[in-house]
Structure 1
Amino acid sequence: MATGSVTAGGQDRVRRAANSKAVDVAARAGFVARGIIYVLIGVLSLRIAFSGGGEQADRGGAIAEIAQKPFGTVLLWLLGIALAGMALWRLSEAAFGQAGPDGGKASKRAMAAGRSVFYGFVAYSVLSFAAGDKGSGSGKSDKNSQDVTAKALDWPGGQWIVGVAGAAVTAAGLWIAARAVMRKFEKHLKMQEMSARMRKAVDFFGVFGGAARGIVFATAGGFAIAAAVQHQPGKAKGMDDTLRTFAGTPAGPWLLALIAVGLMAFGVFSWANARWRKV
């Protein structure tokens, strides 16, 4: 009985730590960092749309952009630490469930675990770049995508693996866009604490930004499917080439500009999450 009490007490302390003020601050700092990255990707995309700039419109381009600014290395350290905070918060959600009545569902905890791994990787790449490893974090997403696709296509059943992965990314993008349009994000925010004008603004940024982000993901997944079907790794595209593809449509640079503004809107929405997210 004593052993059981000690175990229960230890679990309770871990749970309290997961719901502590420190984790709350870490999560909100992570949303701020995510917002900065998406706003910068949007700005870089706008430059490409109207000037054909050579910058990378992806996370690597955003990191390189920050590094060029005064105190850029310090800013990257802060950004990486904030993203590590996001990973920690997602890990706590995986272990103990999310805020809300259905936050303990296995599916939600599994998604939180996946997000924790993703943000952990992003934090590591940013911190590595800040520490002097210039090949980390700022790598071109298109080359990385093509290299990974080429390796996967050489595996037994590689075409199926790449095709299924592409279909999963496409489905995830459509799911992200659909949930944004349906305003599913509202249940995660303290909407009652906002003024009527602020609620409208947050709704706009959430719908517009989430839809744009979902479209980019879905389009990238479509390119992965094409690479699998045609057995051509060069067909796979990272975020940078995916965004540039929008400029090659009949709508020209205006479609890319619209997506770019949408990504910036998602960045602003991330900052709203930093203020009103239920953690």
Structure 2
Amino acid sequence: MPNPLISVRARLARLGDFGRRRSPILRRVPRLSVLVEWAARVGYGARGFVYLSVGVLVLLAAMDLIGDSVGTKGALAWLATQPLGRLWALLIGLGLAAFVMWRVLQSVFDADHEGTSWNGLGTRMSQLFSAFSYAALAVAAFSLLMDTPDDPAAEGVAQSQTYASTVLALPFGKWLLVAGGLAIFSIGVSNIVKAVREDFTEYLACSDRLCRRVGPLARIGHVARGLAYLPLAALVVLAGLHAEAADVTSFGAALDAVERQPAGPWVLAVAALGFVAFGAFSFIEARFRRIRPPRKLKSPL
């Protein structure tokens, strides 16, 4: 039975070739593979900008130079309140949408040639989950074009508690919330494990010397991301066990809870530098990552 996805791609390719032959303007449009590569690089850059912003804001919060810490959505909201903020939100939203497209090509169409082994499927499933999470972040960026919250940190906590109340109202909602907390915990742990096991320079087209220098940025960044998820996971699990939506908080507020502990500001500063490192490595990927658009669409997972 023919694959309908491949059939659709073949028809689009024939339509594109026909248009190129007939229109001088269309002949100047780069090939699809080039457009995909550009979009992927823009996407990595947008991700880098978001995490760099998070790292800087968390570092400023640890130094008591601004108010509360923020997560990725809070960083977008903060940027939207700055001069030309809505323009920033639009550009970041478009960049994140491009990154979602690339994640779909990686996960569903195996652009990185991970294959169908257990390890390859695991990598592709994590890329698919990443696509969903960055799609939500892109939607949040676009929503800032219409409404910018006065207090991004408080807005994030309120939204999280609203979602928790909705879950608790469902049958077995208490245990669903606990499961959600455990899922967040597993995301944190997987980031830490990835930092230890992954060769982050495998997909970079750069010299050995440069790869040796930038590889640690990715490891530090993934460890920071992983550790930052753990306090939020603990609070969500406790909220489920207590059946109290008020116990749920946002990513940024969970970091604030860490700051209130002994040596908390120092821990928060280290986490902030880790976010900055992750953002910096995303910029490295935007420049040097090997982007291999799939030559033919494969069956979804």
Shorter-chain TM range is: 0.7 to 0.9
Give 1:100's aligned residue. 113
Give the match for residue 212 of structure 1: 224
In structure 2, what residue type is equivalent to 1:89? W
Does the CA-based 8 Å contact 2:196-2:219 persist in structure 1?
Answer: yes
Q: Secondary structure at the match of 1:185?
A: coil
Q: How does 1:134-145 map to 2 (within 5 A)?
A: 134=148, 140-145=155-160
Cross-structure match for 1:86: 99
2:272 maps to which of 247, 260, 264:
260
From the superposition, tell whether residues 264 and 154 of structure 1 become closer, same or farther in structure 2 (CA, over 3 Å): same
TM-score, normalising length: structure 2: 0.80
TM-aligned CA deviation for residue 134 of structure 1: 2.4
Q: What is the RMSD of the two structures over their aligned residues, measured on CA atoms?
A: 3.0
2:84 equivalent in structure 1: 71
Residue matched to 2:28: none
Is the CA contact (8 Å cut-off) linking 2:77 and 2:148 kept in structure 1? no
* Residue matched to 1:27: 40
Which residue in the other structure is 1:50 paired with? Answer: 63
Matches within 5 A, 1:164-183: 164-183=179-198
Which of 262, 273, 276 pairs up with 2:285?
273
Counterpart residue identity of residue 283, structure 2: W
2:214 to 202, 217, 231: 202
8 Å Cα contact 1:169/1:220 also seen in 2? yes
* 1:228 alignment partner, one of 221, 240, 254: 240
8 Å contact kept, 2:51–2:276: yes
Q: CA 1:241–1:15 in 2, change beyond 3 Å: closer, same or farther? A: farther
TM-score by length of 1: 0.85
How far is 1:120 from its partner? 2.0
Deviations 1:223-248 (Å, cap 9, x if unpaired)? 11111112222222211111112212
Choose between structure 1 and 2: higher helix proportion.
1
Encode CA deviations 1:96-116: one digit per residue, 9 max, x unaligned: 113134378544444333322
Q: Using a 3 Å threshold, how does the CA distance of structure 1 residues 250 and 108 change in structure 2: closer, same or farther?
A: same
- Aligned residues of 2:68 and 2:256 also touching (Cα < 8 A): no
Q: Is the 8 A contact 2:94 2:138 kept in 1?
A: yes
Shift of residue 44, structure 1, vs aligned partner:
1.2
Equivalent residue for 2:23? Answer: none
Question: In the superposition, relative to structure 1, how do residues 159 and 5 fare at CA in structure 2: closer, same or farther (>3 Å)?
Answer: closer
- Report if aligned partners of 2:214, 2:281 keep a CA contact under 8 Å in 1: yes
| In 2, Cα distance between equivalents of 1:33 and 1:99 | 20
Match of 1:151 in 2: 166
Q: How far apart, CA to CA, are the structure 2 residues paired with 1:209 and 1:7?
A: 36
Unaligned 5+ runs, structure 1: none
Across the two proteins, how many residue pairs are aligned to each other? 273
| Equivalent residue number for residue 126 of structure 1 | 141
AA aligned to 1:46 is: L
Match status 1:39 vs 2:52? yes
Counterpart CA distance in 2 for 1:25 and 1:172 is: 29
User: Could you say what secondary structure the match of 2:70 adopts?
Assistant: coil
The alignment partner of 2:230 has SS state of helix
Structure 1 residues 7 and 170, CA gap change in structure 2 (3 angstroms): closer
Q: Is the 8 A contact 1:55 1:61 kept in 2?
A: no
Partner deviation per Cα, 1:35-74 (whole Å, 9 max, x = no partner): 1111111111112112163255122332233234443322
The DSSP-based 3-state class of the residue aligned with 1:187 is: coil
Report the identity percentage.
27
Farther-moved stretch of structure 1 (100-109 vs 203-212): 100-109
Instruction: Tell me the distance in 2 between the aligned counterparts of 1:188 and 1:169.
Output: 27
Partner of 2:175 in structure 1? 160
Q: CA deviation at 1:275?
A: 1.6
The 8 Å contact of residues 179 and 185 in structure 1, kept in 2 or not, is answered as: no
C-alpha change, 1:150 and 1:5, in structure 2 (3 Å) is: closer
Q: Deviations over 1:121-164 (max 9, x none)?
A: 2212212212x23259x573222222211221221111111111
